[in-house]
Chains A and B, each alone.
Chain A
């Protein structure tokens, strides 16, 4: 198999360990994998940001602002770095759909470790793209990630067309109008899935709408904590 990113052939080194316990073949070569920045060590219990505090200043501010936060917590795998930025650009904007498969195994693992307490009655809801953007990209990266969870995926959210989030300032994002609408009510716990958590506004807009329409608890998984 070739590395999804650099195209080099991945040659597994044979050791006694993988002779007896064959490892799953990796989609990225060791060099490219090293460039990914896994969040390790202490992290904020609410938003996964790498920090020594139990709950980071950002999340305390959200709680103050909302009273009761609509989002239980968010779990992220990676922090942002230059490599990740390039990777996301190629995956999302250039539209190299296949690059998403690099995260499949890691997401399975995250489900086992972090979300399995939800049992099988939870539902995964990807953050949608607006119709226009979907037409441009022809796939929704959040949906791709959602499908890696061994749970039913329901696309019950829609999005009004607006400016790209990545082009807005923090303030503009937090005080922006809720861009989502809901097409179906649901009274199950929900895992919201998106590619990146920057200010947390997007997820809270979506979570707010879901709670309003009967979801008991809303969790979130994002690939990257920006």
Chain B
């Protein structure tokens, strides 16, 4: 079907717009073109905020909270109606403006032949999980949880499955709550599938079109999708804010087609997943071994009675100094986790002073701090990875998804609420990730151990034990 008004084939529009739920201003067409597609019934307007007794619900983010749906005196329609505050950063949803979904022909995605260009080899443990993933995607099974310890090489395990999906002409999305993780995944996935268009979507990303067959996205970006993906892979499913913000699971659920497969990847499954696994409602595969075969470093707890006082004076805890003096391998870089942004800023100066004194660093330039609101955060992390920076003080943003070859990890005030069990397991998983230096020290500085710390250590020991059994030599603790 050719049309004077529309410069592209309907098939191309289908690729661009199908599977999305968009505001008018998010559709880059002029009014005439848009009107044409509307009259051809290729776009269908749907209400943006609906009333389901006894609540209202935003149809993009699923938010129902009354305080997030306040009223708005609209000067265009002259009425007082609702708008959504929850997803306003993606463009304002007004009750008087509909959302548009594509209702034209559904696009035919390419059926690739052997799309995977990755030439590495999987370890037996990885292979087992990879086979399972491939089977789930190939046979359209509904769900699978892949429980793999930090540093098991989760991304590589996905490759055969993704390849299978692409061969079958499926549309695939790898979603994760963290933008950092998306940024790190993009080059790795692109390298493994060199002839497939891969797009990465996150707040401020260069790719905006989102018309590729293989998409990487933050879970936030899924708010713009509806019935889009045949395969949905959710990486780090236990990470903040996915388990805290109900609109994200809502969006992930909506973004899948009816006959889709979902793969969850995690190193630290949350309670609800654990429960479903125990009840055998959620099929899962467990990878207890790191790709280099060494066990996970087990954290040590260091009690420091003066922690509160030291922190009040913006000093690192005294036990930190004594630990610093007798590290096993002083050549390792140092990753210091703190619970709050304010503490990162406050401690920065005094830790720098201490490290200079102890000759861990030569100049002040070798230490820095990052947090979620830091505009240079990606750059700083890259410099740490390039070993230009020796010590980095960070909030929990670097707890997962980032790989540094050889680090020691210190957690200051590990008893703080932000360090829950999952966070601590992830933090401990930053150490000993390369085959060249498979161990690393992980120290929790605290002034009273918490349930989270104890459980985290227990979980790591348990995983090591299961990994050891796999080796045929049960480890003794």
Residues in chain B near residue A138, CB distance under 8 A: 72, 74-76, 94
**Per-position 1/0 for A1-14, Cβ under 8 A of B:** 11000000000000
Residues in chain A near residue B89, CB distance under 8 A: 94
How close is A8's CB to chain B, nearest CB, in angstroms? 12
Residues in chain B near residue A95, CB distance under 8 A: 83, 88, 92
A134 within 8 Å of B (CB atoms) = yes
A2 touches B76 (CB 8 A): no
Segment 124-165 of A: residues with Cβ below 8 Å from B: 134-135, 138-140
B70 within 8 Å of A (CB atoms) = yes
B75 touches A97 (CB 8 A): no
| Chain A residues packing against B (C-beta within 8 Å) | 1-2, 90, 94-98, 134-135, 138-140
A139 touches B73 (CB 8 A): yes
Residues in chain A near residue B83, CB distance under 8 A: 95, 97
B88 touches A90 (CB 8 A): yes
Residues in chain A near residue B76, CB distance under 8 A: 135, 138
Most chain B Cβ neighbours within 10 Å, of A90, A96, A138, A140: A138
Bound Cα distance from A184 to B67, whole angstroms: 39
CB-based nearest B residue for A97: B72
Segment 46-97 of B: residues with Cβ below 8 Å from A: 67, 70, 72-76, 83, 85, 88-89, 92, 94
A-B contact pairs, 26 of them (CB 8 A): A1-B67, A2-B67, A90-B88, A94-B89, A94-B92, A95-B83, A95-B88, A95-B92, A96-B85, A96-B88, A96-B92, A97-B70, A97-B72, A97-B73, A98-B72, A98-B85, A134-B75, A138-B72, A138-B74, A138-B75, A138-B76, A138-B94, A139-B72, A139-B73, A139-B75, A140-B75
| Chain B residues packing against A (C-beta within 8 Å) | 67, 70, 72-76, 83, 85, 88-89, 92, 94
Bound Cα distance from A98 to B72, whole angstroms: 8
CB-based nearest B residue for A134: B75
B88 touches A94 (CB 8 A): yes
9 smallest CB-CB distances across A and B, nearest first, come from: A95-B92, A98-B70, A97-B72, A138-B74, A96-B88, A138-B76, A94-B88, A138-B75, A134-B75
CB-based nearest A residue for B342: A31
Known contacts A94-B92, A97-B70, A138-B74; 15 further A-B pairs (Cβ under 8 A): A2-B67, A94-B88, A95-B88, A96-B92, A97-B83, A98-B70, A98-B72, A135-B75, A135-B76, A138-B75, A138-B76, A138-B94, A139-B72, A139-B74, A139-B75
Bound Cα distance from A138 to B70, whole angstroms: 15
Bound Cα distance from A199 to B85, whole angstroms: 32
CB-based nearest A residue for B97: A138
Residues in chain A near residue B75, CB distance under 8 A: 134-135, 138-140
Bound Cα distance from A1 to B67, whole angstroms: 9
How close is A139's CB to chain B, nearest CB, in angstroms? 6
Residues in chain A near residue B85, CB distance under 8 A: 96, 98
Most chain B Cβ neighbours within 10 Å, of A2, A94, A134, A140: A94
Residues in chain A near residue B72, CB distance under 8 A: 97-98, 138-139
CB-based nearest A residue for B65: A2
CB-based nearest B residue for A86: B373
Bound Cα distance from A1 to B66, whole angstroms: 11
Bound Cα distance from A135 to B94, whole angstroms: 13
Bound Cα distance from A126 to B89, whole angstroms: 27
CB-based nearest A residue for B90: A94
Residues in chain B near residue A135, CB distance under 8 A: 75-76
Most chain B Cβ neighbours within 10 Å, of A94, A95, A97, A140: A97
Residues in chain B near residue A98, CB distance under 8 A: 70, 72, 85
How close is B24's CB to chain A, nearest CB, in angstroms? 12
Residues in chain A near residue B94, CB distance under 8 A: 138
Residues in chain B near residue A96, CB distance under 8 A: 85, 88, 92
How close is B233's CB to chain A, nearest CB, in angstroms? 29
How close is B291's CB to chain A, nearest CB, in angstroms? 40
CB-based nearest A residue for B69: A98
CB-based nearest A residue for B70: A98
Bound Cα distance from A25 to B94, whole angstroms: 28
Residues in chain A near residue B88, CB distance under 8 A: 90, 94-96
CB-based nearest B residue for A90: B88
Residues in chain B near residue A134, CB distance under 8 A: 75
CB-based nearest B residue for A31: B342
CB-based nearest B residue for A1: B67
Residues in chain B near residue A90, CB distance under 8 A: 88
Bound Cα distance from A134 to B76, whole angstroms: 8
Bound Cα distance from A139 to B75, whole angstroms: 6
Residues in chain A near residue B92, CB distance under 8 A: 94-96
Bound Cα distance from A8 to B444, whole angstroms: 28
Most chain A Cβ neighbours within 10 Å, of B75, B83, B92: B75
How close is A137's CB to chain B, nearest CB, in angstroms? 8
